[in-house]
């Protein structure tokens, strides 16, 4: 008999985090790759400290979006037909499968944001006056990107060009998340203007979560 929903979510999350622990792809490839990107940009735009301090936060979030996509879609996009069949025959509820994958991706993305964020603060001398909002925005962006990546990967699953197609689909759709994060933390924005952008971020997360759960079963059956 299949287990209740919560143990299924835990099992899927544990599987994906174990796969990352074994492969080390996020820790040893994606995070350093993101850090390198932050290093390369000043070489391209010039080492103007005030300029870099001003654009630093935006560059950080852009790196999170573009490289975070790789974390959010990598596992699902690389899933084989045999693995999908196994998951179906184990009786894992598709919504639980979706949630488990998204949770694992979100955990990895939070780690990515924290480590690359430290690099960004050090390299760009970013002002952290509004750091308490980061306690909501960092996980909010991670959850949104994880949900978007998992949902889009499900939409493009089983397609021949899926692995290349999925980041192309995710990147422009992640714009509301990017806007929510960058606008909320814009130093020129008055304090009472931050909350609407945070609400946008959380609203996008909620919409994506609902969309993912509702479409999980029919997408699993789509060939």
> What does the binding site for other proteins look like in residue numbers (CB under 8 A)?
1-3, 7-8, 10-11, 14-15, 18-19, 22-23, 80-83, 85-86, 88-92, 151-152, 155-156, 159-162, 165, 168-169, 171-173, 175-176, 179, 204, 211, 215, 217-219, 221-223
Q: Within 10 Å of residue 16's Cβ, how many Cβ atoms?
A: 20
CB of 208 vs other proteins, minimal distance in Å: 8
Taking every pair of Cα atoms in the chain, the longest distance, rounded to a whole number of angstroms, is 63
Which residue do the tokens 């690389």 mark? 78
Q: Which is nearer to other proteins, 97 or 117 (CB)?
A: 97
Q: Which is nearer to other proteins, 187 or 218 (CB)?
A: 218
CB of 23 vs other proteins, minimal distance in Å: 4
SS3 157: coil
| Distance, CA of 15 to CA of 7 (rounded, Å) | 12
CB of 178 vs other proteins, minimal distance in Å: 10
- The answer to whether the beta carbons of residues 188 and 126 sit under 8 Å apart is no
CB of 135 vs other proteins, minimal distance in Å: 25
| Distance, CA of 120 to CA of 61 (rounded, Å) | 10
Q: Which is nearer to other proteins, 47 or 82 (CB)?
A: 82
- The answer to whether the beta carbons of residues 16 and 106 sit under 8 Å apart is no
| Distance, CA of 13 to CA of 39 (rounded, Å) | 32
Q: Which is nearer to other proteins, 119 or 177 (CB)?
A: 177
CB of 113 vs other proteins, minimal distance in Å: 22
Q: Which is nearer to other proteins, 99 or 169 (CB)?
A: 169
- The answer to whether the beta carbons of residues 139 and 47 sit under 8 Å apart is no
């Amino acid at each position: 008999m299949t287990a209740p929903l919560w143990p299924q979510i835990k099992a899927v999350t544990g599987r994906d985090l174990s796969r990352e622990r074994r492969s080390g792809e996020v820790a040893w490839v994606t995070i350093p790759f993101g850090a390198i990107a932050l290093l390369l940009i000043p070489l391209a735009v010039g080492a103007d400290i005030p300029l870099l301090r001003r654009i630093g936060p935006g560059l950080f979030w852009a790196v999170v979006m573009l490289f975070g996509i790789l974390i959010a879609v990598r596992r699902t996009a690389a899933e084989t037909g045999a693995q999908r069949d196994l998951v179906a025959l184990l009786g894992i509820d598709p919504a639980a499968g979706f949630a488990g994958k998204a949770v694992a991706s979100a955990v990895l993305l939070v780690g990515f944001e924290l480590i690359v964020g430290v690099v960004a603060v050090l390299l760009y001398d970013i002002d952290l006056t509004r750091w308490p909002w980061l306690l909501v925005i960092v996980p909010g962006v991670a959850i949104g990107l994880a949900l978007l990546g998992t949902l889009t990967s499900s939409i493009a699953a089983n397609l021949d060009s899926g692995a290349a197609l999925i980041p192309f689909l995710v990147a422009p759709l992640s714009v509301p998340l990017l806007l929510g994060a960058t606008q909320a933390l814009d130093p020129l924005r008055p304090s009472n203007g931050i909350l609407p952008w945070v609400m946008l971020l959380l609203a996008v997360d909620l919409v994506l979560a609902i969309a993912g759960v509702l479409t999980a079963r029919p997408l699993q059956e789509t060939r």
